[in-house]
Amino acid sequence: MDLQRTALPAPPMDLLQHASLFLDFDGTLVELAAQPDGVSVEDRLHDLLARLSIKLEGRIAIISGRPAAQVRKLFRDPPFAIAGSHGHELYWPDGRIVTPTNDGQHDSLLTQMRQLEDRHPGLIVEDKPFGVALHYRLAPQAGDDCIHLAKRLATEKGYQLQTGKMVVELMLPGADKGEAVIALLSQAPMAGARPIFVGDDDTDEAGFRMATRLGGAGILVGAPRATAAVFGLDDVDATLRWLEAAGGAAP
Ligand SMILES: [Mg+2]
């Protein structure tokens, strides 16, 4: 697939007709925060997703790197599916939860990352259900050390390395956002519907590629860059406005 580097066209207003909508969270629906717990879901977003869920007859899901339980809490037990931890966890709207078992390496990863955290004020280690993330937005001088450590641990422990915006993360292998799209599309109510994936970061590329492969499309949020998405929206605000106009307008 050719990667696009030029500015992408805005998605058409009828793109969500009969579609299944997959939404990244941070940097897509809410602005990136300096710390992972520094975000909240405002009423505007809460109401928008509730209306979209009705319009799309439940064919909507959040696919986030955050733990699924955290996303569910932020949205106050929403009526849609959540894929958390980059697709490792699936929370279905009917209450079913599908998660893998951890592999016993987690504590060792956490210990080594905490040692680095102790040396760099501002560096934040995030303990996640199926991985560990190092956030260096508040300690940019530690970025190289973070990436170096994460690369070494990924090799030693057989973990998957994922870089993002001022964050580097080690994840239990075997899942990505594209796999989450397949899993969610395998069952009602999404089965058979065209997938539309909206996201802003490197981890969303797997979602864009899978959506395209399955007859749908990706929408990149943010500045043009090499991407598998075919449509673009400038920022979080433009994304919310497009979602409202394309199907989630207040009555
Ligand atoms: Mg994001």
Ligand 1 centroid–CA 204 distance in Å is 7
In angstroms, the CA 60 to CA 55 distance is 10
pLDDT at res. 247? 83
Q: How far is ligand 1, taken at its centre, from the CA of residue 209, in Å?
A: 16
Tokens 């998405």 found at: 229
Among 2, 14, 24, 26, the one annotated catalytic: 24
DSSP bridge partners of 164: 167
Model's pTM, two decimal places? Answer: 0.86
Give the distance (Å) from ligand 1 centre to CA of residue 237.
14
Helix 177-185 vs helix 205-213: crossing angle, to nearest 10: 40
What pLDDT score does 250 carry?
Answer: 61
Q: How far is the CA of 121 from the centre of ligand 1 (A)?
A: 25
13 burial level (CB within 10 Å; 0-12, 13-18, 19+): exposed
Identify the H or E element spanning 111: helix 106-119
Expressed in percent and rounded to 5, the helix, strand and coil fractions of the chain are 35, 20, 40
pLDDT averaged over consecutive 10-residue blocks of the chain (251 residues)?
A: 71 95 97 87 94 94 95 92 94 88 85 96 92 95 96 93 92 91 92 96 96 97 94 97 85 55
Q: How many Å lie between the centroid of ligand 1 and the Cα of residue 106?
A: 24
Report how far residue 11's alpha carbon sits from residue 242's, in angstroms, rounded to the nearest whole number: 8
Catalytic-residue membership of 24: yes
Token pair, residue 47, equals 């109401």
pLDDT of residue 175: 87
Taking the C-alpha atoms of residue 198 and residue 236, their distance in angstroms, rounded to an integer, is 11
Q: How far is the CA of 84 from the centre of ligand 1 (A)?
A: 12
Query: Do 44 and 57 touch, CB atoms closer than 8 A?
Result: no
CB atoms within 5 A of ion ligand 1 belong to 24, 26-27, 200-201
In whole angstroms, what separates CA 88 from the centre of its chain? Answer: 12
* pLDDT for position 37: 84
